[in-house]
Amino acid sequence: MKIAVDAMGGDFGPRVTVAGALRAAQDFGIDVFLVGVERIIKNELEKLHYDRAKCTIVDAPEAISMGEGIFSLRRKAKSSIRVGAQLVKDKLADGFVSTGNTAAVVYISRKVIGALQGVERPALALLVPTLRGMSLLIDVGASVDCRPGHLEQFAVMGRVFMESVLGLENPRIGLMSIGEEESKGNDLTREAYERLENSSLHFIGNVEGKDIYSGKADVIVCDGFTGNVVLKVSEGVVEALFHWARREVTRNLLAKVGFFLMKRNLKRLYKKVDYAEYGGAQLLGINGVCIIGHGRSNPQAVRSAVRMARDFVVHRVQERIQAEMAKLGGATHGAKA
């Protein structure tokens, strides 16, 4: 199996991505393509011990910055993201992993690799930690303006993911809304509710923001705008809380001592909720495997992202999605863009 890794991605670039990719190659016995500026990657490789046979550099001299717009992306044919996606398109790689600009990876992967037949909109899925384990939030930012049929497709894709990768049979599907009753929500969620209720999915109704981390549903469906807001608000709350906690601690000596004694536990807690640790989001509904890691990913997280790509290939997730979409067939008629 061959996985292409965007060596230029992430906040720390090749220093982290190359190390992570090599670890994955070694630990999971797969081959990796390191895609990016050859000279820089070589430089990183020289610092590390690795199996040369399992690692190939693919030159991609153009860089894409974290804030780059769609127009400039179109012109860059030699960016590491585009070259990596092209490797998947040409079946030279089985999957692509990037910790680069999420919007750019989604946009380019969709253009280059293309959508699966029957999928109206791709969706970015992310596993989030809950009090009971992990739940899948879908979409977290690939498709921001959605229609009810799109949300139904997201639900189906989420089910396939949870069943095939996590081995969770008939996962509970929840619809992200602002009240438990069917009548609550906006126009989009009310119509999506009806569709989901009439589907063959294990639909458990609306879930509210406060239910996400309680693990009430295994798959939580929403449009990409809402999902992205959920993610970033969660991040903001965690950061603010830890900030306030530190401020509280400096108020008196007892608290300082207490904080010191709890430090290891608090660190573990922070790691638990820091989604840079989780190896990334999965782009579902395109005709190939694409995993997008957090920009803050460390080598360990890059390794996890490569493992996730491998799992996608092994479990043929995208093929299963395609098959489910064919079954859905007429059901999404009317959701055409």
The footprint of its own copies (CB under 8 A) covers 67, 69-70, 103, 130-131, 141, 144-145, 176, 178-181, 183-187, 189, 208-214, 223-226, 228-241, 243-245, 248-249, 251-252, 254-255, 257-266, 268-269, 272-273
What is the secondary structure of 210-267 as a DSSP string?
Answer: GGGGGT--SEEE--HHHHHHHHHHHHHHHHHHHHHHHHHHTT-HHHHHHHHHHHHHHH
End-to-end CA, the chain: 36
Contact in structure between 335 and 147 (CB atoms under 8 Å):
yes
Residue closer to its own copies (CB basis): 60 or 73: 73
Least Å from the CB of residue 133 to its own copies: 13
Q: Which is nearer to its own copies, 39 or 246 (CB)?
A: 246
- Cβ-count burial of 53 within 10 angstroms (0-12 exposed, 13-18 middle, 19+ buried)? exposed
What is the spatial distance between Cα 134 and Cα 148, in angstroms, rounded to a whole number?
25
Nearest distance in Å: CB 255, its own copies: 5
- DSSP letter for each residue of 261-326: HHHHHHHHHHHHH-GGGGT-EEEESBSSEEEE--TT--HHHHHHHHHHHHHHHHTTHHHHHHHHHH
Q: Is the CB of 91 or the CB of 210 nearer to its own copies?
A: 210
Q: How far is the CB of 18 from its own copies (least distance, A)?
A: 28
Cβ closer to its own copies: 117 or 183?
A: 183
Q: Which of 85, 14, 26 lies closest to 55, judged by CA?
A: 26
Closer CB to its own copies, residue 241 or residue 326? 241
Read off φ and ψ for residue 177, nearest 5 degrees. Answer: -150, -165
For its own copies, the closer CB: 179 or 334: 179
Nearer to its own copies, 13 or 141 (CB): 141
- Please tell me the distance from the alpha carbon of residue 140 to that of residue 275, in angstroms, as a whole number: 13
